[in-house]
Chain A
Amino acid sequence: MAKGGTATDLALSGLTKVFGTATVVDRVTLRIAAGEMVALLGPSGCGKTTTLRMIAGLVEPTKGEVLIGGYRITRVPSHRRNIGMLFQNYALFPHMSVAANVAFGLQMRGMAKALIQPKVASALALVQLGDYAERLPSALSGGQQQRVALARAIVIEPSLLLLDEPLGALDRNLRESMQVEIRQIQQRLGITAVMVTHDQEEALTMADRVVIMRDGRLEQVGTPAEIYSRPTSRFVASFIGASNFLRGSVAGRNGDQLQVQLASGGQVLVPSADGGRSEILISVRPEAVGLRRIGETPSASESGTPATVQQIVYRGQTTHVHMRLDDGEPFVAFLPNRQGEQAKTFSAGEKVWASWSSQSNWPVADS
C-alpha cells in the first residue's frame, strides 16, 4: 500500500438533486485534483451529505455528472465505483471480527485468501490496530472503531475516499488526534478525498481546499487561508471564524483602494477591484482589532471607529470586548492576554477608539 500512481481526480459537473419540490443540491460544479483533500463545509441541511452520497452512488443525481479520472461514473452502481467511505457511525459489521471487516472489500474483489491476509495485516498496522484483529467491533472504543473503518476503506486501494463527518461522534481531544492521523494517512497514500463536516476547525486543519456550501450551492471555494482572509460574502466571513461588519459609503478612490466613510464614523481604506459601488460592507476580524482611549493619536496606517464598551469576557487566551458602534451595530475585539492587563483597563460604558491595520479591511458581499 505504498503511495502508488492510483491517485485520481474527481469532477462534479452541474450536480443537482431534487427531493420532491426541494432542490437540495443545486448545480454543483467542482474539480478536485488527484491526491487533494477537499472539505465540504456548511450549515446543517445545506446539502453536504447529499452531495457526498451522489459521489458515492448512494443517491441518484437528478441532473449532472460525476467523473472520476475523467470517466463518467454517474450511472455506475456503488459497488463498482471503487470508492472508500467513512460513515459518522463507523458502520462496522457487528458480527464480523476487525480482521473480517477489513478483509470484506478484498473478498468482494475475489482476491485469494493468501493475498488478503498480509494486506489486512498491513492496513491494520497502518492504523495501529494490529493487535485487535480478532476482536469484535463492539469491543473497541469509538476512535478505534473509526480507525478500523479507515483501514477497511483504504485496504481496497480506492480511487477516492469519502468521509461524512467521520469524527462527529468523538470527543474533542480524540477528534483532534484523529484529524491529524487521517490527514497523514491520506497524504501518505496520496488518496483523493472529500470530507463533509460542519466543524470549521476540522475543515481548516484537514483540507487542502475548503468548499463552503449554502442552500445547496457552492458559496466559495478556496484554500483555508483564502477562505479565512478573503471571504467573498458576509455569510462566509461569519461562518468561518467570527467577524465584524462595517457599513460605509465610498468617498473616493486612491489607487487600487477605496476611501470609505464608515456609517459609525471614521474613514478607512479598503482594497477593491470594482469601484462602481457606492455602498460597501467591510469585514474586520476581531483578533485584528486593538482598543485605544479616546484622545490617543492613531497611527496613519490604521483604520478605526469610535465605539462604546458593553461587556468584557475573559476567555483565557483572549479577552473578548463587546462594543456597540455609534450607528448601533455590534463590534467585538479579541484582545490577546499577554500580560492580562490591557483589557482590564477598560470598563463597561466607556467610549473607546477601536483600531486595526488597514490591511485587515476586506470588502464582502452583503448576503
Chain B
Amino acid sequence: MTTSALETTGIASRRPMLPRSLVGLLLLGPALAFLMTFLVLPSLILLGYSVLTQSQAGDISLPLTFGSYERLVTSAAYRRVAMTTLRVAFFTSVVALLLAYPLAMVIAYGRPLASRITMMLVVAPLVVSVIVRTYGWQLVLGNNNTGVLNWLLSALGAGPASVRLLYTEWAIVIASVHVFLPLMVLPLAASLARINSSLNEAARMLGAPAWRAFLRITLPLSIPGLIAGLTIVFSLTAASYVTPQMVGGNRGLMLGVLLEQQINTSFDWPMAAALAAVLVAIALIANVGVGWLAERHFRGR
C-alpha cells in the first residue's frame, strides 16, 4: 500500500507543466507551418490572381474582375474541356473500382501467399515514374501498326491498325487507371479486412448464397474504403497533367493540360489561376459528394 502511494505521488510530481492542448499544438506546429507556407498561402495567392487583371505588359494587378471565370463558363471550348475532365475522371474511377474490388478481396481474404503476391503486384507500379509508365502506354496504344496492341491484333488477323486509342479520352482513362489503381485497392482492402469474417458466415447460415451475402453484407460494410478510393482517384485524375498531356492529344484535352497551356503558351496567369480554382472545386465537390451519396445509400438499408 505504501509503495503504491509513493509511486502515485512520484507520477504526480512528474506531470507536465504545460496544459495538454498546448502540447498538442506544439506537436502539430511543424506540420501546420509547412502546410500554411506551401499550401494555404500559395492557394490564396492563386485565388487572388484569378480575380485580378493582367495588363498587356503582363503585370497582374487591380482592378478586381471575374472576367476569367466568365470566359470559362461562357466559352464552349472551355466547357468542352471541363466536361472531358469530368468524364475521364468518372470513367477512371469506375473502371478502377471494378478492377480494384476483386484485387482487394484477394488481398483481404486470400491465402497468405496469394494475398502477399497480389499486394506486391498492385503496389509495384508505384515504384516506376509516372512518365516512364505513360511512355509505356504510348508504345502499347500507338495508333498505327507500330503500337503493340494494334500489332498484336493484326497478328491475330484483325486487319492493320484496327483500334485508335492513343490521343483519345480512352487512352487517358486506361493510363490513369493503371497509375491510380493502387490508391483504390489499398483503402478498399483495408476496409474489407476490417469486416469480421463471422458476419459473412452468419449470412450464409441464414440462407444467403455467396453472392447475396456479398451484396447485403460485404459490399455495404466496405463503403468507407470505397468512398476513400473513389475520392482519391477521382480528384487525382481530374487534376492530372502528365497522363493527359502525353496520351490525350487534342481530343483528350483536360483542365490540367489547359492550365499549363495558359501559363506557358498564352501567358494568361489569371485564366490559369481560375482553372486551378475550378480543379480545387472539383476535388472538394467529389470529396463531399461521394461521401454524401454513400452515406445516403448506407442509411437507406
| A and B part of one assembly | yes
The interface of chain A, by Cβ under 8 A from chain B, is: 56-58, 77-85, 87, 89, 91-96, 100, 104-105, 108-109, 149, 152-153, 156
CB of A214 to closest CB in B, whole Å: 26
- Are B207 and A109 in contact, CB atoms less than 8 angstroms apart? yes
Please classify how large the interface on chain B is, using the bins under 10, 10 to 19, 20 to 34, 35 or more.
Answer: 20 to 34
Partner of B206, one of A58, A77, A105: A105
B199-227 toward A: CB 8 Å interface, digit per residue (1/0)?
10111111111101100110011000000
- Are B201 and A93 in contact, CB atoms less than 8 angstroms apart? no
- Are A79 and B298 in contact, CB atoms less than 8 angstroms apart? no
CB of A109 to closest CB in B, whole Å: 6
- Are B204 and A104 in contact, CB atoms less than 8 angstroms apart? no
Q: Does B296 contact A (CB under 8 A)?
A: no
Q: Does B13 contact A (CB under 8 A)?
A: no
B-side contacts of A94, CB under 8 Å: 199, 221
Partner of B204, one of A78, A84, A100: A78
A-side contacts of B199, CB under 8 Å: 91, 93-94
The interface of chain B, by Cβ under 8 A from chain A, is: 196, 198-199, 201-210, 212-213, 216-217, 220-221, 298, 301
Partner of A85, one of B205, B210, B212, B220: B205
A89 to B196, CA, bound (A): 9
A89 to B195, CA, bound (A): 13
- Are A79 and B196 in contact, CB atoms less than 8 angstroms apart? no
A-side contacts of B221, CB under 8 Å: 94-95
A367 to B65, CA, bound (A): 94
CB of A248 to closest CB in B, whole Å: 50
- Are A93 and B217 in contact, CB atoms less than 8 angstroms apart? yes
B-side contacts of A82, CB under 8 Å: 207
- Are A58 and B204 in contact, CB atoms less than 8 angstroms apart? yes
- Are B207 and A56 in contact, CB atoms less than 8 angstroms apart? no
B-side contacts of A77, CB under 8 Å: 204, 209
A238 to B196, CA, bound (A): 36
Q: A91-B198, A91-B199, A96-B301 are in contact. Are A105 and B217 (CB under 8 A)?
A: no
**Could you pull out 5 A-B pairs where Cβ atoms are within 8 angstroms?**
A58-B205, A83-B205, A87-B198, A95-B298, A104-B208
